[in-house]
Amino acid sequence: MSSTSPSHTYRIELTPPDITSYQAGNTGTPYVTTFDSGKPGPHVMVQALTHGNELCGAIALDFLFREGVRPVAGRLTFAFANIEAFASWDTSDPNRSRYVDEDYNRVWSDDTLKGERNSTELRRARELVKFVDAADFLLDIHSMHDPCAPIMVCGATGEGGEKSAAFARKMQVPQNLLIDTGHPAGLRMIERGPFRDPRAPQTAILIECGQHWESSSVDVAIDTALRFLQATGVVESSFVKSRLRIQPTAAQTTINVTHAVVAKSLSFRFAGTVTGLQVIAKAGDPIAYDGDEVIVAPYDNTVLVMPSMAHLKVGTTMVRLGRATLG
């Protein structure tokens, strides 16, 4: 078996949008804008640039601003999150602008937000948390390091994942919905407060639109944002329908993460070339090697969720394993 990995650099098909005209906003917080319909309805939030090198969300928000989207019920908030990381964008080294000090999407527990620690990302999260906590519906727009079909990350099993997946089924996209087990490194924004309470109506979803710099990620980001706004009821269907870009598949697939494969040594390698959402047909077939250990598929049709050699360190989650069901 070879030890090929998908960690090479990909072609950059996107140009970072000029978002400086959104800096002032209208909320007192830079790069956050709220439109109020003046009518009853939910508070809906769409966030881009959680990671500064994920351009498609910023392009999607810029598109919606320029198209003049306005709520017909409730309120609509658009936020560009990690603007300092985004400002450091360098086409010759685009991965460096993911964050400045730490991952902005691992700091969302109250312990961390209200704690003593400080960082560029924590300061920004402390500015934005009041908007997140006021949101009834939240869409967080991301993209992935390696090429992969779009995935809706719905949150963790028993902690909001199921209600978010139900909401994504109303949107009819993307084909793949992921219910996972969270990240040990820290709480994500979509797992905060009532979003993680299965009985609370507040719902948050995170779309992974494809590889960071492929042009198709923009179509996914715009289409997903439009369908999200329609499903919340704050934007008229006529506005949405004329701007959709993607035909939904007949049936969506729900992938429940069952295992996380964590590197125990720097000799970790996959058993051949792997791609996101690749299916290992037979239980017992090798997935990876780590020192003397062979990691095998725990059941037939094991799905590889976001395998990546990009961040190999002892203790890093290299791939998660999931079980897929239709619907």
For the CB of residue 317, give the shortest distance to Zn ion in the complex, in Å: 15
Please list every residue from 210 through 229 that binds Zn ion, using CB under 5 A: none
Contact between 43 and Zn ion per CB under 5 A? no
Stretch that binds Zn ion, among 127-135, 136-144, 248-256, 276-284 (CB under 5 A): 136-144
Tell how strand 75-80 and strand 151-156 pair up. Answer: unpaired
For the CB of residue 316, give the shortest distance to Zn ion in the complex, in Å: 16
Give the integer Cα–Cα distance in Å for 192 and 120: 20
Contact between 145 and Zn ion per CB under 5 A? no
Return the number of the residue (54 or 290) whose C-beta is nearest Zn ion. Answer: 54
Return the number of the residue (128 or 271) whose C-beta is nearest Zn ion. Answer: 128
Return the number of the residue (179 or 288) whose C-beta is nearest Zn ion. Answer: 179
Return the number of the residue (43 or 51) whose C-beta is nearest Zn ion. Answer: 51
HEC assignment per residue over 190-229: HHCHHHHCCCCCCEEEEEEEEECCCCHHHHHHHHHHHHHH
Stretch that binds Zn ion, among 17-25, 47-55, 199-207, 259-267 (CB under 5 A): 47-55
Give the integer Cα–Cα distance in Å for 195 and 173: 20
- Residue in the shown chain whose Cβ atom is closest to Zn ion: 142
How many CB atoms are closer than 10 A to CB 20? 10
Strand order in the sheet with 293-296: 269-270, 286-290, 293-296
Stretch that binds Zn ion, among 54-62, 78-86, 114-122, 182-190 (CB under 5 A): 54-62
Return the number of the residue (146 or 290) whose C-beta is nearest Zn ion. Answer: 146
Stretch that binds Zn ion, among 71-79, 138-146, 176-184, 197-205 (CB under 5 A): 138-146
For the CB of residue 283, give the shortest distance to Zn ion in the complex, in Å: 31
Contact between 142 and Zn ion per CB under 5 A? yes
Extended strands (E) in the chain:
32-36, 43-48, 75-80, 137-144, 151-156, 176-180, 203-211, 253-262, 269-270, 279-280, 286-290, 293-296, 302-305, 317-326
Give the integer Cα–Cα distance in Å for 216 and 56: 9
Q: How many residues bind Zn ion (CB under 5 A)?
A: 3
Contact between 51 and Zn ion per CB under 5 A? yes
Give the integer Cα–Cα distance in Å for 4 and 9: 14
For the CB of residue 157, give the shortest distance to Zn ion in the complex, in Å: 21
| CA nearest neighbour of 88 among 98, 75, 78, 73 | 98
For the CB of residue 288, give the shortest distance to Zn ion in the complex, in Å: 23
Stretch that binds Zn ion, among 46-54, 218-226, 229-237, 300-308 (CB under 5 A): 46-54
Residues near 174 by Cβ (< 8 Å), separated by ≥ 6? 149, 150, 151, 152, 168, 207, 220, 224, 252
For the CB of residue 310, give the shortest distance to Zn ion in the complex, in Å: 13
The Cβ-side half-sphere exposure at 115, using a 13 Å CA radius, reads: 11
For the CB of residue 104, give the shortest distance to Zn ion in the complex, in Å: 9
Contact between 163 and Zn ion per CB under 5 A? no
Return the number of the residue (135 or 306) whose C-beta is nearest Zn ion. Answer: 306
For the CB of residue 271, give the shortest distance to Zn ion in the complex, in Å: 27
By CB under 5 A, name the binding residues for Zn ion: 51, 54, 142
